[in-house]
Structure 1
Amino acid sequence: MLVESTDVEGAKVYEMIIKQIFQDLQLSPSVKDMRVFVDPKEVVFILAIKMDKTSNFTILGDVTSIEYDKESNKTIIRVKDENYLPNILKKLWLEKGRENVHQPDRFSFILEGKDDNLNNLVIDDPYENLKKRVYDAIFRIIPEGFRIIRDISKDDVIAIVCTDELIKDEWLDKGLKYVEELTYS
């Protein structure tokens, strides 16, 4: 982690704050590297974080058996791995509507009609989950009052430039430089 600042003591404090937030959110193992720039005189905060690789996403077909019953015109989903039950239910509610998902028992779901795309429905995406957690950390780290935020993220690098004034081109350039450094490191 590199924290740059015109205020040396302020840089140390920010490094401590960042480490504490990442420890609280248990993100430290998931972050490869980070660049931070803080300038209290210019009122700018730049942060770029390179996320570590995650495992692959899980699709519904991997953790369930899906059958279509022609006679009743219903699709029956039987859960093989109960660890995914909350994710499956949440995703089915989101995709099909809560009123259209029936759960006769703990490990079964019934949907009206036939849906050939259910097998490929992503129910768990560790990369997206990590990304959400990193953004949560970022919004805890950003100095209070910095309401103008530009997201300049690219691939596995999440980066923001923020201030309480108009964002200057030179700040964006510095942020993009951090993104490039982290992308190829």
Structure 2
Amino acid sequence: MSEHDESFADQNFDTIFRQVMQELGVSRMVEDYRIKADPDAPYFIISLRLGKARSSVKVSDMALIDQASGGSKITIIDENWAPALLTKLWQLYGRDAVEQLTRFELIVTGPGPEIISNLELDPGEELRTKVLDAVWRVFPEGFKVRYNLANDKAMTIIGTEHDMQEEWMKLAEELHKEMGAS
């Protein structure tokens, strides 16, 4: 592959990844990223420096919780948390137990207000999930052999469709350090 072709491919990966991050609303959560691909090897590396997520928050700090027949009524007062709260409630109690009356009003069958009030949402977990979703959307489909590095500051994933080479893993580790991982 010529240098021109590689440059064109790199620009396309960059453009696609930026669009995917924007669609998923995670552009501000990723401070920096690098994509390296060598189609002749072949490998694909993506490394991201993650922004600081907000600290955990209790449901009682983002919503009003009242007793409801057979459970709890939740009125969300901080709309930024609405999607994360709904997802958390579905995970814990199932979709059948969570009724969405309006955009910001929910009825949860089962747990009482005290239990719901003390639930905590971890935005860092949500951040990692959304960022990983963006990564998988741009990652070449056939590259199933993977090596992952992750901590609170950075995430690096290298993939190939062949056996993973030690030198590629070292490249990924170097890139991971460049992204601020300790």
Change (3 A) 1:7 1:130: farther
Report deviation, 1:174: 1.4
CA distance in 2, matches of 1:151, 1:97: 31
TM-score by length of 2: 0.73
List, as ranges, runs of 4+ consecutive aligned residues in structure 1 with deviation greater than 6 Å: none
Counterpart position of 1:111: 109
Aligned residues: 175
CA distance in 2, matches of 1:110, 1:135: 29
Which of 118, 139, 147 is the aligned partner of 1:120?
Answer: 118
- Does the 8 Å CA contact 1:75/1:113 hold for their aligned counterparts? yes
Counterpart position of 2:45: 46
Are 1:66 and 2:83 an aligned pair? Answer: no
- Does the 8 Å CA contact 1:66/1:75 hold for their aligned counterparts? no
Structure 1 SS opposite 2:150: coil
Change (3 A) 1:114 1:184: closer
Report deviation, 1:162: 0.8
Cα deviation code 1:34-88 (max 9, x no counterpart): 233322222122221112223344431112233458xx7x543331427355544
Counterpart position of 1:3: none
CA distance in 1, matches of 2:162, 2:108: 53
Counterpart position of 1:36: 35
- Does the 8 Å CA contact 2:32/2:50 hold for their aligned counterparts? yes
Map 1:148-159; keep pairs closer than 5 Å.
148-159=145-156
CA distance in 1, matches of 2:29, 2:11: 18
TM-score by length of 1: 0.72
Counterpart position of 2:90: 93
CA distance in 2, matches of 1:102, 1:136: 26
- Does the 8 Å CA contact 2:49/2:155 hold for their aligned counterparts? yes
Counterpart position of 1:133: 130
Report deviation, 1:175: 0.7
Change (3 A) 1:97 1:143: closer
Query: How big is the alpha-carbon RMSD for the aligned residues of Structure 1 and Structure 2?
Result: 3.2
Structure 1 SS opposite 2:44: strand
Runs (5+) with no aligned partner, structure 2? none
Structure 2 SS opposite 1:140: helix
CA distance in 1, matches of 2:74, 2:132: 34
Letter in 1 for 2:15: Q
Which of structures 1 and 2 has the bigger CA Rg? 1
Runs (5+) with no aligned partner, structure 1? 1-5
- Does the 8 Å CA contact 1:21/1:137 hold for their aligned counterparts? no
Cα deviation code 1:2-26 (max 9, x no counterpart): xxxx953244223311331233221
CA distance in 1, matches of 2:6, 2:91: 43
